[in-house]
């Protein structure tokens, strides 16, 4: 697999398109988790297809495809897409991975990271794709049981980006895909995960807090009474269940009030103090601090006031 489109890939595309029964519209050079490759089928997102089997023939316009033509096809036709199909590293450099590095390509941004959502919207683009060192990344949440044939896991890259690995048992063209997700998505995904799927030692502070929130909810779950053939045992179990449920009704109310009256206030205080730390790190320059935090100047000013 390649991180850029080479003359060999162009030749492979032409050769595959020339085979009997192959529709040139359904063959292309497609970006996947392992880089650029010649693929077939209508499945891949068009935003990840650099060239279709038709493009070399359109470019040749009846002429023979020579070395110069092949080289020309390794460059995007739109100058806005740059001078090559090179996939950069997540640090923004155009360097190739070092020998022995297990890398994967992030091909999209997931706008929903929750496994219970029927449709996860993924915005794909080869122009914004980057590769990362899988060996240096940490798996934070192991895959959930398959939902409609797909499992997802949450990772943290060496550059501090949250990424999701989506694996599908029915997607023939791209059974594995890596997408970026937001901090909001990572927090929500970690919160909903089963305890045995979470690597607690690997979690950053925000995700550790999400698990504490999950623990709070789980601690206030009223158990169903155990079933027993002995009427007296069953009655006692039902009484204990009733007592626990009654306590839970009142406890959840008090905890909700505590969250509204104290926890949220404390979180706002923590956020304000952290924002002030960022401003100090930029020598008091709020413009630079706001840009670093990706928020507006007025928002930052109100936050630290």
Predicted local distance difference test score (pLDDT) of residue 40:
67
- Where do runs of H (alpha helix) occur along 128-230? 183-192, 205-219
Predicted local distance difference test score (pLDDT) of residue 116:
47
Hey, is 58 helix, strand or coil?
Answer: helix
pTM (2 decimals)? Answer: 0.82
Predicted local distance difference test score (pLDDT) of residue 42:
47
Predicted local distance difference test score (pLDDT) of residue 72:
92
- Kindly list the domain boundaries of the chain, sorted by start residue: 7-85, 89-202, 221-297
Predicted local distance difference test score (pLDDT) of residue 223:
72
Backbone angles phi, psi at 130, to 5 degrees: -140, 160
Predicted local distance difference test score (pLDDT) of residue 45:
73
151-181 burial string, b = 16+ CB within 10 Å, else e?
bbbbbbbeeebbbbbbbbeeeeebeebbbbb
In this prediction, the residues of the chain whose per-residue pLDDT falls under 50 are: 42, 113, 116-119
Query: CA neighbours within 13 Å on the CB side: how many for 74?
Result: 19
- Where do runs of H (alpha helix) occur along 152-258? 183-192, 205-219, 231-258
Cα–Cα distance between 88 and 249 in angstroms, integer?
54
Cα–Cα distance between 31 and 50 in angstroms, integer?
8
Predicted local distance difference test score (pLDDT) of residue 207:
97
Handedness of CA 83, 89, 91, 96 (dihedral sign): negative
Q: Which two tokens stand for residue 183?
A: 């901090």
Residues 138/186, Cβ–Cβ less than 8 Å: no
User: Residue 178: which of 119, 115, 111, 110 has the closest Cα?
Assistant: 110
């Amino acid at each position: 697999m390649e991180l850029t489109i080479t003359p060999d890939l162009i030749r492979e595309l032409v050769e595959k398109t020339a085979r009997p029964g192959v529709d040139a519209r359904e063959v292309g050079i497609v970006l996947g988790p392992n880089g650029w490759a010649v693929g077939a089928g209508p499945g891949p997102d068009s935003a990840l297809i650099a060239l279709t089997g038709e493009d070399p023939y359109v470019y040749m316009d009846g002429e023979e495809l020579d070395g110069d033509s092949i080289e020309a096809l390794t460059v995007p036709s739109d100058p806005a897409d740059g001078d090559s199909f090179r996939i950069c590293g997540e640090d923004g450099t155009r360097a190739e991975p070092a020998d022995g590095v297990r890398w994967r390509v992030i091909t999209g941004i997931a706008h929903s990271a929750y496994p219970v959502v029927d449709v996860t919207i993924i915005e794909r683009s080869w122009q914004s794709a980057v590769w990362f060192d899988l060996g240096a990344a940490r798996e934070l949440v192991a895959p959930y049981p398959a939902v409609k044939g797909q499992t997802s896991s949450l990772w943290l890259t060496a550059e501090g980006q949250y990424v999701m690995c989506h694996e599908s048992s029915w997607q023939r063209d791209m059974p594995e895909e890596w997408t970026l997700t937001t901090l909001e998505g990572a927090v929500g995904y970690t919160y909903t995960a089963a305890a045995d799927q979470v690597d607690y030692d690997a979690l950053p502070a925000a995700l550790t807090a999400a698990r504490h929130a999950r623990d709070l909810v789980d601690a206030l779950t009223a158990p169903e009474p155990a079933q027993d053939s002995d009427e007296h045992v069953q009655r006692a179990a039902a009484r204990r269940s009733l007592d626990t449920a009654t306590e839970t009704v009142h406890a959840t109310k008090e905890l909700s009030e505590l969250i509204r009256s104290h926890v949220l206030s404390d979180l706002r205080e923590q956020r304000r103090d952290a924002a002030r730390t960022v401003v100090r790190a930029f020598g008091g320059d709020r413009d630079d601090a706001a840009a670093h935090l990706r928020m507006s100047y007025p928002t930052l000013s109100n936050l630290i006031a």
